[in-house]
Copies of this chain bind each other. A is one copy, B any other.
């Protein structure tokens, strides 16, 4: 595997792991919250999303991944967070 594809593969793997860590962090937070309307939750999420977006932007500028690959990682994470968020909402409506 030529160096460039290897670097692309490694970068994508790292970025996906970081995205999963954010989803994991938020799902743990959500498990402990009735409604995620608490400022800390928002702040943790914003900070982590900002950090990941800077990593992705850097990887694109360094030629490690394409802009589309980067957008896909953010998009997948946002969808995961939406799922988590709606589950919490449904749960809180049931109670």
**Quick check: is A54 within 8 A (CB to CB) of the other chain?**
yes
* A47 lies within 8 A of chain B by Cβ: yes
User: Does chain B have a CB within 8 A of A93?
Assistant: no
Of the candidates B2, B18, B62, the one whose C-beta lies within 8 Å of that of A14 is B62
List residues of A whose CB falls within 8 A of some B CB. 2-4, 7, 10-11, 14-15, 18, 47, 50-52, 54-55, 58-59, 61-64
Nearest-neighbor residue (CB-CB) of A6 within chain B: B3
Nearest CB in chain B to that of A57: its residue: B55
Measured CB to CB, the closest approach of chain B to A67, in angstroms, equals 15
For this complex, 7 residue pairs linking A to B, each with C-beta atoms less than 8 Å apart, are A10-B63, A14-B61, A15-B58, A51-B54, A52-B54, A58-B59, A64-B64
